[in-house]
Amino acid sequence: MKPVHCLAALPIAAFYSGGWLAEHVGTRLAGLPFLMTWNIVWLLLTSVVMLVMFRFDGSRDATRRTAQHVASERRDHDGAAS
């Protein structure tokens, strides 16, 4: 497991801590109850966290390099056979 995958725990912890936090913060934000606002914000931030994980994961670069390596070997092999 890569260290960047630990970021996936952040939205989970945020969603579970929202109820406890809403108990101590009894305000309304943007006309909505605090817990609803908290969940909407973290729903959007979860997408940002997943985008960061996708960008810094690096496995798609490894896949691309492997595909290029296989393609170059195939070209070399096809050229030698003909």
Compare 24 and 40 and report the one with higher pLDDT.
Answer: 40
Q: What is the largest CA-CA distance in the chain?
A: 77
pLDDT tens digits for 59-75? 766 666 666 777 777 77
Give the residue carrying structure tokens 């390596």: 69
Compare 82 and 69 and report the one with higher pLDDT.
Answer: 69
pLDDT tens digits for 45-58? 999 999 998 888 87
Res 27: pLDDT: 82
* pTM for this prediction: 0.64
Going by C-beta distance under 8 Å and a sequence separation of 6 or more, which residues neighbour residue 56?
A: 4
